[in-house]
Chains A and B, each alone.
Chain A
């Protein structure tokens, strides 16, 4: 029987990064689906898989008898060179729990230690400080959509000089669990579960 193959050279194409934040950003960048920018080089996605080995005495002290898969998170690395400055400032502010909007100068001032980025709020609700991130794929037509990411560092590098500033950014994506709601619209008390939470999907946000 003939062996068939779907092998090909894979070219993602010109990878624009778009993002959207919480409702409290309404009227400004990330209050709507915003073009963050284009990278100087590859945008790199690095999923991190967490596994715990199950050991049995019968299998000796090193080899695992089985492995438990404990979910994954993901790092997305991009060095942005043609980007929206205010959108990036807003990303940075949201990553430490939100700055004092709309005061642009205060976007570098965290409010206090201990802010939860999700805060048990729904995706894109007011006060939800994660960001959704999209990596577009105009040639391959298989974009990445990360529903809940935050800008992290290191590395977050902001070089200042006479040459064009190439911003080295790294986002962490997690499987954030928004609260389920009842018919009345109020969230019932419910234990957080990790089931069926997307870390990423392959359909870009459209709005």
Chain B
């Protein structure tokens, strides 16, 4: 493939939750004020040998997750509230779930009880969208209140959830943090 300037294009954020959520179908969340940042986090464990001093001689790949940051300026507040609800393990935004509720709930993607959300970022120009299969709003979203248009700051974390982490002896092999096919 030849070098080129890569322009993803107008990135629309689409989300989809479990069948019992307020967003059981693929829904438009919104458009961002600026670039949406996709930040994969690769975790490598260094292996240090005394014979090699303090510098790692080898690394073990200990999987990855991803952080997706966006500042939404043209968004559907109902869909946003639904995402916040799922981030709170299915209870209405602003109320508390039981402490310790499992986000995946031990069930498959989009099954009732799985509160991870499918986070989709379109890429109409480059044709290289992102789909994070198991994402949730994390940390401290910000909702400015005032007479100016509201630009909502969201940070999502995406993980490779598995119903059975043993996976028939394969462990995390094959689990998906993201791919490049949008949900339907």
Contacts and interface: CB of A to CB of B under 8 A. Distances in A.
A35 B171 CA distance: 14
A45 to B, nearest CB: 20
A11 B166 CA distance: 17
Nearest to A136: B169
B58 interface: yes
Interface in A157-171: 161-164
A9 interface: yes
Interface string B75-104: 000000000000000000000001110100
B98 A162 contact: yes
Contact of A14 (B47, B58, B60, B171): B171
A14 B166 CA distance: 8
Main secondary structure of the interface of B (DSSP, over half): loop
Interface in B41-79: 47, 58, 60
Contact of B171 (A13, A161, A164): A13
Interface in A82-125: 82
Given A13-B171, A138-B170, A164 B165 contact: no
B100 A16 contact: no
Contacts of B60: 11
A138, A161, A162, A164 — which one has the most chain B CB atoms within 10 A of its CB?
A138
A90 B98 CA distance: 29
B99 A162 contact: yes
Contacts of B47: 9
A162 B52 CA distance: 44
Nearest to B99: A162
Nearest to A161: B100
Interface residues of A, number: 14
A35 to B, nearest CB: 7
A119 B166 CA distance: 35
Contacts of B165: 38, 82
B58 A16 contact: no
A16 B166 contact: yes
Interface in B131-184: 165-166, 169-171
B169 A14 contact: yes
A194 to B, nearest CB: 35
Contact of B166 (A9, A35, A164): A35
A85 to B, nearest CB: 13
Contacts of A11: 60
Interface string B15-38: 000000000000000000000000
Contacts of A161: 100
B103 to A, nearest CB: 12
Contacts of B170: 14, 138
Given A38-B165, A138-B169, A161-B100, 16 more contacts: A9-B47, A14-B166, A14-B169, A14-B171, A16-B166, A35-B166, A82-B165, A82-B166, A136-B169, A138-B170, A138-B171, A162-B99, A162-B100, A163-B100, A164-B100, A164-B102
Closest A-B pairs by Cβ, 3 of them: A162-B100, A14-B171, A162-B99
Interface of B: 47, 58, 60, 98-100, 102, 165-166, 169-171
16 contacts: A11-B60, A14-B166, A14-B169, A14-B170, A16-B169, A35-B166, A38-B165, A82-B165, A82-B166, A136-B169, A138-B169, A161-B100, A162-B98, A162-B99, A163-B100, A164-B100
